[in-house]
Structure 1
Amino acid sequence: MPTMADVARSAGVSVATVSHVLNGTRPVLPRTRQAVLDAIDALGYTPNTLARSLVTSRTRSIGLAVSAISNPYFTEILQGVEAAALEEGYGLLIADPHDDPGHERRVVQLLHERRVDGVIVAPSPRPDDLVGYLARHAVPTVFLDRAVDAPTDPAFRFDQVHAENAAPTARLVTHLAGLGHRRIGLVAGLPGLSTTRERVGGYRQGLAAAALPCDERLVVHGDSEAAGAERATAELLASAAPPTALVSANNAMTIGALRALRARGLTVPGDIALCCFDDFAWADVFSPRLTAIAQPSRELGATAVRVLLERLAEPERPARAVRLPCSFVHRTSCGCPEEPGASTPGG
């Protein structure tokens, strides 16, 4: 079995240089790094990860805790995390917290006990117990997609990576208002999530920008899942003054809203216009094709990995929040004529 010394001889470098390439402990010139990687590949060298972790206290693994992994949005985030981690030589351990605060704390603790170097978490609506655990154990953490309110305490060193939420939602509302709609409903997400709060805020901003009153009866909560959205949309449609246009605040709820519309025999956009937050693979397959806000899901995942690795390299630096822009994808469910390939930045 080839050893690190064999790799060093083959690459024409020192054993220390091979170690730096494998462990990321010191910058190495690109051509030297490539020579080491080529030697590793040619010799079939397999690092002794367990032995190395005992020496360095690092396992080169990352824990990822996101709910609803089956959701296409989180699936794409997972792909971004996995690709970025693999590129940096890190493995990935995955858990589903099910948006339950108690379960969330338990699964993240299990990841921590498996000695991951850090965790990336899409937090639940009430993550206080989780945040307390992470703070007590000084676990390097990036909160992904959903924000956690940061205290003024400078010791709060949890980084955050999210997409813009408010301005893109306002963009959907002003677009519908520009088409003549005056009663625009919102199927909002699970109460307590930062994404829900920010998208509801964006909805109100859009109404204000269009000089439309905000009727709170037009805001219903679909709890970020299809069945909840179907029930909430049905209630909204059964009201005395139903909306003429609807904004759905995530992809799963869009499916539920469409089911509720179909159950009442309503067509989109003939009877009611529809726009949604989250573009997904089927959005341009529906008839009509869905006008949507597209989040940079894979980029969010990859950015979370980069931010976590920067935290591992510099544990004492101040916490930071990274916001990525979304895109407005203009199709036909809003009532506009077909514009093939039309897509402009959101915000």
Structure 2
Amino acid sequence: MTTMVDVAQRAGVSIATVSHVLNDTRPVRPATRQAVLEAMDALGYTPNGLARSLVTSRTRSVGLAVSAISNPYFTEILQGVEAGALEHGYGLLIADPHDDPAHERKVAQLLHERRVDGMIIAPSANPGELLAYLGKHDVPTVFLDRLVDTPADTVSDGPSSTATAASFRFDQVCTENAEPMAELVAHLAELGHRRIGLVAGLPGLSTTTERITGYRHGLANAGLPYDERLVAHGDSQSGAAERTTGALLSLAAPPTALVTGNNAMTIGALRALRERGLSVPADMALCCFDDFSWADLFTPRLTAISQPSKEIGARALKLLLERLASPSRPGRTVRLPAALVHRTSCGCPEKSGRPKGHTTSGRPESPKNPENPEKGPVS
């Protein structure tokens, strides 16, 4: 079996130099590094990952915990994380917390026991046990898609992020939620709809809370009253969304337009409409948060908010590597812009122009303060 001694002899360097190249523990001149790598390739040398981790106290592995991995949105996030991990020489250990707080904590413990260097997690609606475990063991962590409360002051850190000084040093990355949702509602109102229903996600998730906030802003901007009977929770799942859409359709005064809070709930809402023989958009206009690959194949084609899911995954990995390099730096929360993909399920003709409020950059304009438009966007 080829050893480091063999590699050192072939490359004409010391064993220590080979170790520095393998473990990145000390700078090595480019020509020397190349000679070591060529010797490894010629001899077929495979580094011992366990021995390496003993030297560096790092396993060059990352734990990724997201629920519903089969969901296209999270699948693309996974692809973004994996691409970044491979580029930097890291492996992935993947687990599904099932949006269950107790299981989520167990998943974090199992990943930690496998000595991952850090974790990327989409937290549940009640992540208290998870936060306690991560904080107790000082695990480098990035939360994605859903945010956790960070009781701290914030300072500006660029156009779409904030730097957070928290008692625990975690990083977070997510999409803008409120403004894009407000834009969907405003567009439906512009088309003449006065009873706009919302199929919202799992209560307690930051994404659900922010999208409901955006829904209310959109109504207020259009001069429409908020009616809590038109908001029903589909719990971020297709089956629950199908049932709750049926309940909305059974109201004495049902909505004439629907907005769904994620792609899985969009499927459930479409099933409920089909079961009642209703067509989109003739009988019910429909817009959705979360674009997905099939949205352009439906008839009609679905008007949707598109999230930069692969970029979310890539940014999460980048934040984690920065945290590993500088463990004591302040935590950061990064928000990425979403874009409205305007199709025909909203009731617009196939080749209509952009709806009002859609910017050329793909980032929706900020909703105005419904109490005083002169004050600008709601914070």
Calculate the TM-score normalised by the size of structure 1.
0.93
**Structure 2 Cα separation of the partners of residues 224 and 232 of structure 1:** 11
Gaps of 5+ in 2: 153-164, 365-379
Paired residues of 2:288 and 2:304 also in contact (CA < 8 A): yes
**Structure 1 Cα separation of the partners of residues 35 and 199 of structure 2:** 55
Paired residues of 1:292 and 1:328 also in contact (CA < 8 A): yes
| Matched residue type, 2:300 | P
Aligned residue pairs total 347
Partner of 1:114: 114
Partner of 1:60: 60
**Structure 2 Cα separation of the partners of residues 121 and 266 of structure 1:** 39
Shift of 1:132: 0.3
Partner of 2:94: 94
Shift of 1:10: 6.3
Matches within 5 A, 1:136-175: 136-152=136-152, 154-175=166-187
Paired residues of 2:290 and 2:307 also in contact (CA < 8 A): yes
**Structure 2 Cα separation of the partners of residues 276 and 35 of structure 1:** 55
Paired residues of 1:171 and 1:346 also in contact (CA < 8 A): no
Partner of 1:254: 266
Query: In structure 2, do the counterparts of structure 1 residues 262 and 54 end up closer, same or farther at CA, with 3 Å as the change threshold?
Result: same
Residue 214 of structure 2 is aligned to residue 197 of structure 1 = no
Partner of 1:316: 328
**Structure 2 Cα separation of the partners of residues 341 and 284 of structure 1:** 17
Shift of 1:241: 1.1
Query: In structure 2, do the counterparts of structure 1 residues 25 and 192 end up closer, same or farther at CA, with 3 Å as the change threshold?
Result: farther
Paired residues of 2:291 and 2:307 also in contact (CA < 8 A): yes
Shift of 1:253: 0.1
**Structure 2 Cα separation of the partners of residues 257 and 227 of structure 1:** 9
Matches within 5 A, 1:163-312: 163-312=175-324
| Matched residue type, 1:80 | G
Shift of 1:111: 0.5
Paired residues of 1:77 and 1:300 also in contact (CA < 8 A): yes
Partner secondary structure for residue 199 of structure 2 = strand
Paired residues of 1:66 and 1:74 also in contact (CA < 8 A): yes
**Structure 1 Cα separation of the partners of residues 33 and 223 of structure 2:** 59
**Structure 2 Cα separation of the partners of residues 216 and 346 of structure 1:** 28
Paired residues of 2:68 and 2:96 also in contact (CA < 8 A): yes
Query: In structure 2, do the counterparts of structure 1 residues 52 and 187 end up closer, same or farther at CA, with 3 Å as the change threshold?
Result: same
Calculate the TM-score normalised by the size of structure 2.
0.85
Partner of 2:375: none
Paired residues of 1:330 and 1:339 also in contact (CA < 8 A): no
**Structure 1 Cα separation of the partners of residues 65 and 6 of structure 2:** 39
**Structure 2 Cα separation of the partners of residues 27 and 177 of structure 1:** 61
**Structure 2 Cα separation of the partners of residues 256 and 190 of structure 1:** 14
Shift of 1:254: 0.2
Matches within 5 A, 1:48-87: 48-87=48-87
Query: In structure 2, do the counterparts of structure 1 residues 242 and 34 end up closer, same or farther at CA, with 3 Å as the change threshold?
Result: farther
Paired residues of 2:66 and 2:74 also in contact (CA < 8 A): yes
**Structure 2 Cα separation of the partners of residues 323 and 31 of structure 1:** 41
Query: In structure 2, do the counterparts of structure 1 residues 2 and 284 end up closer, same or farther at CA, with 3 Å as the change threshold?
Result: same
Paired residues of 2:150 and 2:166 also in contact (CA < 8 A): no
Partner secondary structure for residue 89 of structure 1 = coil
Gaps of 5+ in 1: none
